[in-house]
Each structure stands twice: as structure tokens, then as C-alpha cells.
């Protein structure tokens, strides 16, 4: 079906890549998210191209080019704007098992569009002729705000259960209603989500959390049973707790996935590490989120209590303090308790004042260091660490003590006692 009335703003670099391929006789179209989003009125940079040229041909025609996903036929081509565009050879699925697909190269665009998941993702646009190829009526679905599988929904989900999560993400992100037969098939496929690899679930979850508002998609995760299937730890939250969890997540900027993740996983209590391990987050990511969760568990100090503010900073870690205050803040706002908000603002002010004064809150802030203590005759090791901690305790209680002479005396007295 040709729809000549649609005309999109194609980046010059994309048109250049398509032109070169077409000049060599290879049909080339723009497909996927960039077309969908452009039709919805939001431009984005990552235009993906689908071409009849085989990967080795693409590599020969464009230098430099990069084998981004060579096993899927995807080559990265640097455009004249320096952006790397993904150019993928037309493909057709020949075998699928719900987790992986065996694909072969195809000659025709139509084959390639038929293996795509949803009609709104299966619209092709010719970057030079400004022609639309939309055999699955994705444009009509976009107009009606409808999410619909390409082909038989039950088959399509069974081919790749990740499509269940992708569907929930797209429906939430673009406020699409899920068409009835797609929704029924999706619900039937949900129990199979547990078969997906942790890595793919993680990548999907991070995409959900990267949307300006994550709550519509997360709410669909819950409404469809995907939460129960993937994160049973979160299944026990009642409607009110879930509602305020979503409110808190949306209040955090989309550019801070680790903060949004902390709110989500921490809402189950002490299960954060289990969920992160299951979804194959790296050790570093897990440490970050666990640190933030610990900070969130640390009640904020009384507003007038500077000593408590310093203790809080020591326990949370000054480098995490702003994030922790932010998390406390959005959590309280989402609970819609105004008195709590006001109190929290006071508590946060006390903490920030301590930071601005440069109050000592870590060993590194002390006016003495390990070498000074060694000169007093202390052996490096646990004892020395304990004396430094004791110095920090003393200085937190009274920052005026944070002077070399006073601290050395104090350390000596501890040493003589011990």
C-alpha cells in the first residue's frame, strides 16, 4: 500500500547512505522506531535502514563501517553527520523458539516487514522517494492509537516472548490501546516470560525506565501479570503502595535509571540483590543500587540536630547524599503527605547545611591520617582503622576537635588505653 500523503524530514546523512546503496542496485528503506516516532511527531536521530544488500556488500561500500550485529546482518555505517547508522540486510525468520530466532537473508522488503513485532514498528519509508510501504496498516493503527501484532498474535509472541514486554513498553510509552486479540494472546504468553534470559529482561526494563514517564508501562506490567512472572517479589504490593511507587519513579528524571531502579526494587524490602542478580545486572550496578537502597533505609536526621546530620552523611556517604535526599523526597511526595514533605524539606536543609559548611563526615576529612598515627607507634591494620573511626566519631560530635594537635592527643589517649 502506498501512502503518498506522508512526508517525513529525512536526515541528509540517511538519504546519502540510502542513495549509495540504491545506486549500486540495492533497495534500501528506513524502518522501525524512527519512522514510528516521526509519524507521531517526535524526531529522533537513530534512523535504522533495511537493505537488500548483504552485510559484506555494505561493508565494502562504506568505509569505515562496523560489524555491530554481524550475526543479525547489521552493519554500522558512519554518516556524513558522524552519527553511526544501523544498516541491516532484509531478513526472514526460519526458526524460532520463544528466546532466539534463526534468520536468513531475504530479497524483499515485505519479508522483512512481516517478521517485525507490531504494525506500528513495521512501517517502511523510502528516504529518497519519500514513499511509504505499510502492508500491515501501521499508520492507521498509529492514528487510532492501537498496538497490534503483525500477523497472528499468539504465534508472534510464541516466536519471541520478549515481544510481550516490548508490547507493554510501547503501549505505555505511546499511550496505545492494546488491540483485543493482541491483548488476549499477550496475557496467554505472560507465564512464559520466565523463560527469557535475565539480560533481555534487564535491557527491556531499562528501556521502560528510560521513558519520560515509566508508570504507564510499569502499570501494564502489573496489569498483565508480567510483574508476577518476572518479579514475584513485587507482586505483594497493594494498589496504594504500587500507586505511590509509580508516582515516585516518575518524579525521578528519566536520565537516572539507577535511582528509578532503586525505588522499584527497594519497594519489595530486602529483595533488591536477588532481583538484580536474576536480571544479570553487573556487580558495579548492583553495588550502586544497594548503596542507594541503604541510604533510603537510613532515616533522615532531626532538623535541628547537626550531629545527627553529620552521622547521616557518614552512614550514607557524602557522594550519595544528594541522590538519597532526592529519593526520600520523591517517595514522600508520591505518598501525598504534605506534613511529611514539609518536615522532610527541613531535614534535607540540615543535611545540606552540614555539607556546605564542609563538616567532617569521612575519615578523609580528618586533620590526621594513618601516617600520623603510625608515627605514634600504631601498627597499620584493624587497630589503626578503629582509632581513625574513633577520631571521626569524636569529630562528628564536635567538629572543633578536627585539628591535628587535638586529634593526635586524642588518638594517643585511645592508644594508651588499648
Q: Return the biggest CA–CA distance within the chain.
A: 89
- 141 lines the binding site for ligand ATP (CB under 6 A): no
Q: Residue 16 is inside which H or E element, if any?
A: helix 12-23
Helices (H), 174-256: 180-189, 198-209, 215-224, 226-230, 239-251
If one counts every other C-beta atom within 10 angstroms of the C-beta of residue 124, the result is 23
Tell me the residue number closest to ligand ATP, measured at CB.
Answer: 33
Least distance in angstroms from the C-beta of 68 to Mg ion: 12
- Report the alpha-carbon distance of residue 392 to residue 195 in Å, rounded: 50
How many residues in the shown chain lie near Mg ion by CB under 5 A? Answer: 1
Cβ proximity to ligand ATP: between 33 and 370 the closer is 33
Q: Pick from 16, 134, 160, 179 the residue near ligand ATP by CB under 6 A.
A: 160
Q: Identify what 117 binds: ligand ATP, Mg ion, none; CB under 5 to 8 Å per kind.
A: ligand ATP
- Report the alpha-carbon distance of residue 33 to residue 48 in Å, rounded: 8
Q: Identify what 116 binds: Mg ion, ligand ATP, none; CB under 5 to 8 Å per kind.
A: ligand ATP
Contacts with ligand ATP in 15-54 (CB under 6 A)?
32-33, 48
- Report the alpha-carbon distance of residue 298 to residue 331 in Å, rounded: 14
Least distance in angstroms from the C-beta of 115 to ligand ATP: 6
- Report the alpha-carbon distance of residue 258 to residue 132 in Å, rounded: 39
Note the Cα 281 to chain centre separation in Å.
11
Least distance in angstroms from the C-beta of 170 to ligand ATP: 8
Q: Identify what 163 binds: Mg ion, ligand ATP, none; CB under 5 to 8 Å per kind.
A: ligand ATP
Please say whether the beta carbons of 61 and 21 come within 8 A: yes
Contacts with ligand ATP in 93-132 (CB under 6 A)?
116-117, 121-122
- Report the alpha-carbon distance of residue 13 to residue 85 in Å, rounded: 9
- DSSP codes, 278-302: HTT--HHHHHHHHHHHHHHHSPPPP
Where does this chain touch Mg ion (CB under 5 A) — which range of 32-40, 72-80, 89-97, 266-274? 32-40
Least distance in angstroms from the C-beta of 46 to Mg ion: 6
Least distance in angstroms from the C-beta of 85 to Mg ion: 11
Residue 307 dihedral angles phi and psi, to the nearest 5°: -65, -45
- 210 lines the binding site for Mg ion (CB under 5 A): no
Least distance in angstroms from the C-beta of 36 to Mg ion: 9
Least distance in angstroms from the C-beta of 260 to ligand ATP: 17
Cβ proximity to ligand ATP: between 158 and 376 the closer is 158
Residue 164 dihedral angles phi and psi, to the nearest 5°: -60, -50
- 33 lines the binding site for Mg ion (CB under 5 A): yes
Least distance in angstroms from the C-beta of 118 to ligand ATP: 7
Residues 6+ apart with CB under 8 A from 371: none
Q: Identify what 162 binds: Mg ion, ligand ATP, none; CB under 5 to 8 Å per kind.
A: ligand ATP
Dihedral, 263, 266, 268, 271 alpha carbons, nearest 10: 140
Q: Give the strand pairing for 84-89 and 74-78.
A: antiparallel
Please say whether the beta carbons of 287 and 272 come within 8 A: no
Where does this chain touch ligand ATP (CB under 6 A) — which range of 160-168, 214-222, 223-231, 310-318? 160-168
Where does this chain touch Mg ion (CB under 5 A) — which range of 26-34, 145-153, 384-392, 402-410? 26-34
Cβ proximity to Mg ion: between 174 and 312 the closer is 174
Residues that bind ligand ATP (CB under 6 A): 32-33, 48, 116-117, 121-122, 160, 162-163, 207
Residues that bind Mg ion (CB under 5 A): 33
Amino acid at each position: 500500500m502506498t501512502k503518498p500523503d506522508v512526508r517525513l524530514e529525512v536526515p541528509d546523512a540517511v538519504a546519502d547512505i540510502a542513495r549509495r546503496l540504491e545506486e549500486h542496485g540495492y533497495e534500501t528503506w528506513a524502518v522501525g522506531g524512527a519512522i514510528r516516532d516521526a509519524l507521531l511527531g517526535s524526531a529522533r536521530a537513530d534512523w535504522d535502514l533495511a537493505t537488500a544488500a548483504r552485510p559484506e556488500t555494505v561493508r565494502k561500500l562504506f568505509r569505515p563501517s562496523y560489524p555491530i550485529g554481524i550475526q543479525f546482518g547489521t552493519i554500522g555505517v558512519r554518516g556524513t553527520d558522524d552519527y553511526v547508522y544501523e544498516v541491516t540486510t532484509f531478513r526472514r525468520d526460519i526458526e524460532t523458539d520463544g528466546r532466539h530466532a534463526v534468520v536468513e537473508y531475504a530479497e524483499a522488503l515485505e519479508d522483512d516487514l512481516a517478521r517485525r513485532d507490531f504494525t506500528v514498528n513495521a512501517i517502511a519509508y523510502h528516504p529518497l522517494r519519500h514513499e511509504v510501504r505499510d502492508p500491515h496498516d501501521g499508520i492507521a493503527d498509529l492514528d487510532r492509537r492501537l498496538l497490534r501484532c503483525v500477523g497472528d498474535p499468539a504465534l508472534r509472541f510464541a516466536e519471541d516472548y520478549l515481544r510481550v514486554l516490548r508490547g507493554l513498553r510501547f503501549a505505555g510509552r505511546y499511550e496505545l490501546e492494546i488491540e483485543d486479540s493482541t491483548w488476549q494472546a499477550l496475557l496467554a504468553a505472560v507465564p512464559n516470560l520466565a523463560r527469557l534470559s535475565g539480560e533481555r529482561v534487564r535491557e527491556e526494563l531499562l528501556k521502560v525506565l528510560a521513558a519520560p514517564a515509566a508508570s504507564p508501562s510499569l502499570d501494564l506490567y502489573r496489569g498483565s501479570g508480567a510483574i508476577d512472572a518476572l518479579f514475584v517479589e513485587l507482586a505483594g504490593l497493594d494498589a496504594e503502595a504500587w500507586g505511590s511507587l509509580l508516582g515516585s519513579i516518575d518524579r525521578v528524571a528519566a536520565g537516572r535509571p539507577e535511582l528509578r531502579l532503586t525505588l522499584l526494587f527497594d519497594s519489595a524490602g530486602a529483595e533488591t540483590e536477588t532481583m538484580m542478580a536474576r536480571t544479570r545486572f553487573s556487580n558495579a550496578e548492583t553495588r550502586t543500587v544497594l548503596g542507594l537502597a541503604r541510604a533510603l533505609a537510613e532515616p533522615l536526621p532531626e532538623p535541628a540536630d547537626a550531629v545527627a546530620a553529620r552521622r547521616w552523611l557518614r552512614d550514607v556517604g557524602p557522594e550519595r547524599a544528594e541522590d538519597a535526599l532526592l529519593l526520600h523526597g520523591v517517595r514522600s511526595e508520591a505518598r501525598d503527605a504534605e506534613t511529611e514533605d514539609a518536615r522532610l524539606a527541613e531535614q534535607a536543609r540540615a543535611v545540606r547545611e552540614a555539607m556546605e559548611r564542609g563538616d567532617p563526615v569521612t575519615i578523609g576529612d580528618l586533620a590526621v591520617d594513618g601516617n600520623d598515627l603510625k608515627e605514634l607507634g600504631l601498627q597499620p591494620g584493624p587497630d589503626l582503622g578503629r582509632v581513625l573511626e574513633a577520631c571521626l566519631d569524636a569529630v562528628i560530635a564536635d567538629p572543633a576537635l578536627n585539628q591535628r594537635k587535638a586529634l593526635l592527643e586524642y588518638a594517643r589517649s585511645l592508644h594508651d588505653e588499648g
